[in-house]
């Protein structure tokens, strides 16, 4: 038994913030940002929430899959920026779309979140507990960014991407001989390096504590350490997944990576000895949306007709935690 993606969807805020707009806020320039990140603009919420963006992406994924919300059995929302601690975002999405028969919960693996959610859904379906699921990566990072910090405010954007996945007991074989579905999944974490990318929640502050804590509510990042981790761990993780699937990078049609930085993606391509043309990118238009980057790019490729039946894709990402993962899947 495997799982296959039968529908994708995405949703982005309407507000576009360019590098030139950021020049008015901090000491930076379009040239500086493009050269170091590859980002030219990003979408920023003007009221859209993690839940409303998630719901819109889910509805589009369901439409593509030809399913109704009542048929959904599981909703998993990967996010590190929910508006509410209670109820969880997935339950809010359940309410908005009317998925009355689904179980719903959130998980947080930061930018690797969509992959961790996909693997969680696979485990549920492999055990026979559920037959389908809505997997969502959704973020409103703009509320976690210090807009006076040029090292972080230029990087992040808001948005959501979703995939509807179904269990497949029977093999579907494409014309090229490949079987549709997930071929393997690798995931991991290194908590010892977790604080190189962090964002604090409310401190412990109750009636029995006299000394109050003051902490920053914004994203804190050691960019050099994150870069070194990503350029080393992502290709290693992908190699591990390829070995597990019994294939090489040459057998992969497309690498759909977390859209954090063009330099990271180029470094991964070089280490894998794979042509950069196999690494589609959209970070120039929407920036780093954490858990949403992979599903949003996947939906863009799918709706644009760039993914063909039988294509083998590697989805891979890294994020705060530090977390990482890679999935090999045949479309």
Residues known to be catalytic: 111, 258, 288
3-state SS assignment for residue 319? strand
Residues with Cβ < 8 Å from 207, sequence gap 6 or more? none
Q: How far apart are alpha carbons 34 and 89 in whole angstroms?
A: 33
Instruction: Please work out, in degrees rounded to the nearest 5, the angle formed at the alpha carbon of residue 126 by the alpha carbons of 161 and 66.
Output: 45
Q: Which residue is listed with tokens 């969680």?
A: 120
Rounded distance between C-alpha atoms, residue 49 and residue 314, angstroms: 29
Q: Please provide the DSSP assignment of 166-229 as one string.
A: EEE-S--B-TTSPBSEEEEEEEEE-GGGGGGEE---PPP--TT--S------S-EE-HHHHHHH
Burial (CB count <10 Å: 0-12, 13-18, 19+), residue 271: middle
The strand pair at 254-257 and 312-319 is best described as parallel
User: Using CA atoms, how far apart are residues 93 and 48, in angstroms rounded to an integer?
Assistant: 13
* Rounded distance between C-alpha atoms, residue 47 and residue 303, angstroms: 26
């Amino acid at each position: 038994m495997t799982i296959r993606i039968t529908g994708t969807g995405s949703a982005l805020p309407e507000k576009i913030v360019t590098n030139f707009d950021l020049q008015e806020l901090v000491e930076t320039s379009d040239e500086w940002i493009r050269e170091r990140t590859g980002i030219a603009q990003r979408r920023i919420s003007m009221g859209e929430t993690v839940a409303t963006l998630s719901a819109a992406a889910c509805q589009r994924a369901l439409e593509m899959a030809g399913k109704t919300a009542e048929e959904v059995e599981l909703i998993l929302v990967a996010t590190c920026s929910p508006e509410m601690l209670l109820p969880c975002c997935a339950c809010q999405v359940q309410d908005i779309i009317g998925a009355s028969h689904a179980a719903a919960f959130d998980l947080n693996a930061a930018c690797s979140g969509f992959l961790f959610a996909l693997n969680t859904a696979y485990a549920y379906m492999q055990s026979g507990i559920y037959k389908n699921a809505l997997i969502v990566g959704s973020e409103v990072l703009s509320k976690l960014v210090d807009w006076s910090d040029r090292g972080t405010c230029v990087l992040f954007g808001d948005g959501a991407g979703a995939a509807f996945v179904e269990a497949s007991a029977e093999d579907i074989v494409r014309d090229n001989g490949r079987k549709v579905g997930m071929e393997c999944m690798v995931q991991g974490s290194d908590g010892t390096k977790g604080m190189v990318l962090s964002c604090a929640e409310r401190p412990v502050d109750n009636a029995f504590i006299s000394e109050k804590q003051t902490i920053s509510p914004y994203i804190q990042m050691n960019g050099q350490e994150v870069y070194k981790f990503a350029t080393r761990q992502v290709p290693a993780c992908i190699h591990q997944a390829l070995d597990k699937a019994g294939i090489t990078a040459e057998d992969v049609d497309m690498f759909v990576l977390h859209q954090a930085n063009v330099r990271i993606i180029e470094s991964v391509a070089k280490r894998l000895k794979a042509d950069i043309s196999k690494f589609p990118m959209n970070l120039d238009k929407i920036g780093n949306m954490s858990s949403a980057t992979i599903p949003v790019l996947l939906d863009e490729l799918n709706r644009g007709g760039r993914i063909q039946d039988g294509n083998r894709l590697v989805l891979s990402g890294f994020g705060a935690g530090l977390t990482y993962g890679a999935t090999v899947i045949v479309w």
